[in-house]
């Protein structure tokens, strides 16, 4: 992520945009050296658990273990407790649990845990459209670009943009969030999707929103697209954003 911000600093043409990127890099340096959170919103813990089908978890449930890890990590790291027990009563759980956990059964006997510390400001700008096949790539690209344009400065650009295409209503949204786990700027292994990513990145940066919304060339640092087979009558497209405090990690056990 720091390398992506430094690359953005090198190509940003706006003076104020470069100034914003300088401050973001300085903020990251201080956070690393002083062991401070890089942002006051330390996010929701979103976990992607790929569970090997030959693995058996003992001495309790996997979800309890994940939540205990989140509880310890947020408390011992002095990170803000941001989770409320219900969307209407708004009572804080005080330890950032429960985590949001997505499970996937995969071959093997290992457990692959990936995590996003997902801030609300950028997540609130998520969008999903159930397009029709006749809309095609043109309609999908216009929807993605419009989602970024309407978000403006609210998701704290420069952004990492996750795009999910295909599947069903809920799967497109999940694909768009899973796309954020890829190393920043790493092209998709499918050359066709890599071309889509490059085109969407160009369209988004042509909007001129720029760092922190003050104008400039760099609105997004990367666009990551994931796709899935879908119904003949459907073209679901989802957009999920992460801000310049993009925090992702992975461990295989």
Summarised one tens digit per residue, pLDDT across range 110-141 is 999 999 999 999 999 999 999 999 999 999 99
Summarised one tens digit per residue, pLDDT across range 173-183 is 999 999 999 99
Residue 61: its H or E element: none
Structure tokens at 89: 């009563």
Side-chain-side CA neighbours of residue 247 (13 Å) = 20
Round to whole Å and give the CA distance between 23 and 53: 46
Mean pLDDT estimate for the chain: 96
Round to whole Å and give the CA distance between 222 and 141: 15
Structure tokens at 199: 């085109």
Residue 211 · residue 218 · CB < 8 Å: yes
Q: Where are the domains of the chain?
A: 2-29+121-247, 44-118
Task: Output the pLDDT for position 179.
Answer: 98
For the entire predicted model, the pTM comes to 0.95
Round to whole Å and give the CA distance between 204 and 253: 38
Burial of 46 (0-12, 13-18, 19+ CB in 10 A): buried
Residue 35 phi, psi dihedral angles, 5° rounding? 60, 45
Summarised one tens digit per residue, pLDDT across range 87-112 is 999 999 999 999 999 999 999 999 99
Task: Output the pLDDT for position 36.
Answer: 87
């Amino acid at each position: 992520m720091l390398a992506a911000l430094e690359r953005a600093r090198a190509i940003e043409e706006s003076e104020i945009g470069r100034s914003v990127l300088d401050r973001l890099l300085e903020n990251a340096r201080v956070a690393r050296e002083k062991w401070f959170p890089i942002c006051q919103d330390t996010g929701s813990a979103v976990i992607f658990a790929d569970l090997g089908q030959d693995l058996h978890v003992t001495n309790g449930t996997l979800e309890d273990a994940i939540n205990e890890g989140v509880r310890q990590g947020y408390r011992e790291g002095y990170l803000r407790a941001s989770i409320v027990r219900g969307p209407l009563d708004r009572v804080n759980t005080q330890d950032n649990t429960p985590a949001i956990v997505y499970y996937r059964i995969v071959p093997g006997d290992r457990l692959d845990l990936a995590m996003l510390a997902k801030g609300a400001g950028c997540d609130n700008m998520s969008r999903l459209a159930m397009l029709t096949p006749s809309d095609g790539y043109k309609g999908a690209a216009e929807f993605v670009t419009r989602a970024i344009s309407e978000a403006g400065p609210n998701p704290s650009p420069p952004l990492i943009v996750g795009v999910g295409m295909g599947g069903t209503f809920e799967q497109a949204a999940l694909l768009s969030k899973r796309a954020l786990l890829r190393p920043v700027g790493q092209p998709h292994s499918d050359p066709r999707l890599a071309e889509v990513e490059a085109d969407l990145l160009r369209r988004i940066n042509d909007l001129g929103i720029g760092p922190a919304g003050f104008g400039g060339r760099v609105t997004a640092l990367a666009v990551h697209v994931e796709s899935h087979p879908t119904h003949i009558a459907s073209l679901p497209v989802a957009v999920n954003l992460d801000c310049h405090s993009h925090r992702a990690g992975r461990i295989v056990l």
